[in-house]
Amino acid sequence: MSQAAFARARANIALAKYWGKSDVALNLPAVPSISLTLDGLVTETTVRFREDLDADLVKLDGRVATAKEAARVVELLDRVRAAAKLGLRAEVESTNRFPTAAGLASSASGFAALAAAAAKAAGLRWGTKKLSAAARQSSASAARSLFGGFAKLPAGAPGQADLAAKPLYGPEHWDVRLVVAEAAKGPKKVGSTEGMERSRRTSPLYDAWVEKAPALTRRIQRALKDKDLDALGAAMEQSTYAFHACAMSASPGILYWQPATLAALRTVERLREKGTSVWATMDAGPHVKALCHAADAAKVRRALGRTEGVLKTMVAKPGAGIEVEAR
Amino acid sequence: MSQAAFARARANIALAKYWGKSDVALNLPAVPSISLTLDGLVTETTVRFREDLDADLVKLDGRVATAKEAARVVELLDRVRAAAKLGLRAEVESTNRFPTAAGLASSASGFAALAAAAAKAAGLRWGTKKLSAAARQSSASAARSLFGGFAKLPAGAPGQADLAAKPLYGPEHWDVRLVVAEAAKGPKKVGSTEGMERSRRTSPLYDAWVEKAPALTRRIQRALKDKDLDALGAAMEQSTYAFHACAMSASPGILYWQPATLAALRTVERLREKGTSVWATMDAGPHVKALCHAADAAKVRRALGRTEGVLKTMVAKPGAGIEVEAR
């Protein structure tokens, strides 16, 4: 049994949005989501179980992790150790090989790579589904990054411990592009976990979101099957606005947007008025991500790059699923 | 019987928001709303029924009204003529005496003044309640501008023809200020009537908004009674975000905001973090309106005036109700 392993995973963007948990302890999503795994947005992680360690050693991007960051890593390692009946502490080195800090959540690729590397290093023979369920317990969006191309994470019923994402289509299914426009620097004020909980407890619109999101996800899944970008884009925008609506109308309201967010949204709207099929989405942050056909990506990127307040742009295409090897 | 009358009415801002109709033909609101009538934001209207006219003559701010504007005026005149059994056509002159074009809807003050002047000129002895119901048929927010200070417009049940606003407190009840920050020039792309209909038909959150808005309105009414600005402000912001949420998550989404809207919202947030009790609201447009105590108004105005993208600011205080006289 090898005591070390390496994994490479890619970030993903939700086309049908996840917001809200049905079970906080088990980290189960209250609504189904559909994602696109992104080429070029890679996290590489090595896990080494070592006899000579008294505690887990966690390095992120070459620096020692903060206590809060390390705690989430150790929690996943503990679950892997329990499954493998392994007593050793681990050295974890994880690096985000992203071309820009464009506000794409690295927790998706990070926890996908960590789950795969840790399980392999611990000698567990977990398949992708099992790895997806393990990653999901740390970060729901990570469950989707195990799979390349397009994946779906169903909603979880409270108590359902083993929820995993499912592959829908490989990256070759549809040659779309995601153009990312960075709209602000710095971390957001309200983290997603806190934002979801506050939305659930205080937003007058939260229950309606949970009730209505599955229909939006079905529309998105159908449009994805049909490769109908206008149908998918319209439903993706609606899914985006509906989840931001829950966050905004929480008490106190959570507003992830910045002036440049609005400017970038206007740019996308103007491009569409001029005939380009391009649609916007935002995660729990200020950045705008525009979905378009490959042929339109350069034009969309130029327009977003020229938009007031936009700091940086980049383009991603459909990417591959998890890669793991023993070290 | 005098055949001419003059009326002066003031614009109002909704503290508890109105969005959505329970009966489009009768223009009945689906949710209750509470407003503050604003001093200094005055519309003055003269109506003269004349024997020598073949058609109604409508002048707004010194120019001849467009056909679309005139149609809404004529529709109200027709209802007044029917009630008074009067065959004469009218000359209408209406002027908004607003210090700036700060995007405060003039339809509230405009239709309040028009209803009062037309009824008086036609010899009808309508009280404020009857005038409020008449104004409401043209513009629901106008129903509230008949009353000074703070007024409430209940939700209307379909078919309920005579719904009127009710006074809650006079302008002397509470010495608050509304600081208006103009965030963009030009008319909005989607009018309120169209926006409400699209929200009702297509937003997955609309039904929840209609169901939950009354509780927000009750919180606002209680806070208004208690003169508790923090409680009122928090609920007012929630009411604002919840109605914008319905508009945004309609299909296609309706986004009334501009980059300067977000910048002004951040200014209000920062002021609050530094200890000033100030709360934001927006109507179906890009402008930010900040509610604060009289003592803080100058500080709030300075901060909003210095905010990137804000074109103009002004301050309004609680104003008086309708004034009418025969001419």
- For every residue of B74-116, DSSP letters joined together read HHHHHHHHHHHT---EEEEEEEEE-SS-----SHHHHHHHHHH
Q: How confident is the model at residue B100 (pLDDT cuts 50, 70, 90)?
A: low
| A205 vs B contacts (CB less than 8 Å) | 205, 208-209, 212, 242, 245
Cα nearest neighbour of B256 on chain A? A262
Buried b (16+ CB within 10 A) or exposed e, B212-239: bbeebbebbbebbeeeebeebbbbbbbb
Query: Which amino acid appears at position B228 of this protein?
Result: D
What is the C-alpha R_g of chain B? 19
Are A308 and B259 inside 8 Å of each other by CB?
Answer: yes
Dig out the tokens for A290 from the structure.
Answer: 């525009």
Are A251 and B263 inside 8 Å of each other by CB?
Answer: no
Residue A206, judged by CB atoms within 10 A of its CB (0-12, 13-18, 19+), counts as buried
Query: Rounded distance, CA A271 to CA A256, Å?
Result: 23
Q: How far is B286 from chain A (nearest CA, A)?
A: 11
Dig out the tokens for B199 from the structure.
Answer: 């929200």
Residue bearing tokens 């614009």 = B11
| B263 vs A contacts (CB less than 8 Å) | 259
| Range name among A101-110, A267-276, B24-33, B280-289 with the lowest pLDDT average | A101-110
Q: How far is B53 from chain A (nearest CA, A)?
A: 45
Q: How far is B31 from chain A (nearest CA, A)?
A: 14
pLDDT of residue B185: 86
Residue of A205, A253, A260 lying closest to B205 (CB–CB): A205
Residue of A250, A259, A265 lying closest to B260 (CB–CB): A259
The angle subtended at Cα B101 by Cα B75 and Cα B239, nearest 5°, is 75
Give percent of chain A above pLDDT 90: 92
Dig out the tokens for B261 from the structure.
Answer: 């809207």
Mean pLDDT of all residues belonging to chain B: 95
| pLDDT at residue B188 is higher than 70 | yes
Using DSSP bridges, classify how beta strands B176-182 and B312-316 pair: parallel, antiparallel or unpaired: antiparallel
Q: What is the mean pLDDT of residues A74-80?
A: 98
Residue of B205, B216, B259 lying closest to A209 (CB–CB): B205
CA distances, A109 to each of A72, A136, B224, B245 (Å): 14, 11, 49, 31
**In chain A, residues 254-283 whose CB comes closer than 8 Å to chain B:** 255, 257-263, 265-266, 269
Residue of B205, B258, B269 lying closest to A245 (CB–CB): B205
pLDDT of residue A185: 86
| pLDDT at residue B99 is higher than 70 | no
Residue of A209, A244, A259 lying closest to B259 (CB–CB): A259
Query: Rounded distance, CA B282 to CA B146, Å?
Result: 22
Could you tell me the domains of chain A? 4-173+319-326 (3.30.230.10), 176-316 (3.30.70.890)
Are A205 and B242 inside 8 Å of each other by CB?
Answer: yes
DSSP B270: H
**Each residue of B53-63: pLDDT tens digit?**
999 999 999 99
| B265 vs A contacts (CB less than 8 Å) | 255
pLDDT of residue B248: 97
Task: Please give the ipTM for the structure prediction.
Answer: 0.90
- Single out the residue of A69, A57, A29 nearest to residue A152, CA to CA: A29
By 3-state DSSP, what share of chain B in percent is helix, strand and coil, each rounded to 5?
Answer: 40, 25, 35
| Range name among A50-64, A194-208, B6-20, B182-196 with the lowest pLDDT average | B182-196
Are A212 and B234 inside 8 Å of each other by CB?
Answer: no
Are A259 and B257 inside 8 Å of each other by CB?
Answer: no
The answer to whether B198 faces chain A, any CB pair under 8 Å, is: no
Are A204 and B238 inside 8 Å of each other by CB?
Answer: yes
**Each residue of B214-264: pLDDT tens digit?**
999 999 999 999 999 999 999 999 999 999 999 999 999 999 999 999 999
The angle subtended at Cα B83 by Cα B78 and Cα B84, nearest 5°, is 95
Residue of B238, B251, B255 lying closest to A253 (CB–CB): B238
Are A238 and B204 inside 8 Å of each other by CB?
Answer: yes
Q: Any long-range contacts for A278-281 (C-beta under 8 Å, 24+ apart)? A: A278/A179, A278/A233, A279/A229, A279/A230, A279/A232, A279/A233, A279/A234, A279/A236, A279/A237, A280/A237, A280/A240, A281/A13, A281/A14, A281/A15, A281/A17, A281/A236, A281/A237, A281/A239, A281/A240
Are B262 and A255 inside 8 Å of each other by CB?
Answer: yes
pLDDT of residue B290: 98
Query: Rounded distance, CA A291 to CA A317, Å?
Result: 10
Contact B135, B25 (CB under 8 A): no
Contact B33, B153 (CB under 8 A): yes
Cα A150 from chain centroid? 12
Mean pLDDT of all residues belonging to chain A: 95
Query: Rounded distance, CA A263 to CA A284, Å?
Result: 17
| pLDDT at residue A2 is higher than 70 | no
| pLDDT at residue B51 is higher than 90 | yes
Identify the bridge partners of residue A43 per DSSP, sorted by sequence position: A9, A96
The answer to whether B205 faces chain A, any CB pair under 8 Å, is: yes
Query: Rounded distance, CA B124 to CA B133, Å?
Result: 14
Query: Rounded distance, CA B128 to CA B111, Å?
Result: 13
| A265 vs B contacts (CB less than 8 Å) | 255
Q: Which residues contact A211 (CB under 8 A, 6 or more apart)?
A: none
Residue of B204, B249, B261 lying closest to A262 (CB–CB): B261
Q: What is the mean pLDDT of residues A68-82?
A: 97
Are A208 and B205 inside 8 Å of each other by CB?
Answer: yes
Q: What is the mean pLDDT of residues A221-250?
A: 98
Are A242 and B207 inside 8 Å of each other by CB?
Answer: no
**Each residue of A124-163: pLDDT tens digit?**
999 999 999 999 999 999 999 999 999 999 999 999 989 9
Q: What is the mean pLDDT of residues B110-139?
A: 97
Query: Rounded distance, CA A81 to CA A87, Å?
Result: 7
Residue of A215, A242, A259 lying closest to B249 (CB–CB): A242
Q: Which helix (H) or strand (E) holds A132?
A: helix A128-138
Query: Rounded distance, CA B100 to CA B304, Å?
Result: 15
Cα nearest neighbour of A263 on chain B? B259
Evaluated on CA atoms A12, A279, B245, B207, the torsion sign reads negative
Are A205 and B207 inside 8 Å of each other by CB?
Answer: no
Q: How far is B325 from chain A (nearest CA, A)?
A: 44
pLDDT of residue B2: 60
Q: Which residues contact B152 (CB under 8 A, 6 or more apart)?
A: B32, B33, B34, B35, B144, B165, B166, B168, B217, B221
Cα nearest neighbour of B257 on chain A? A262
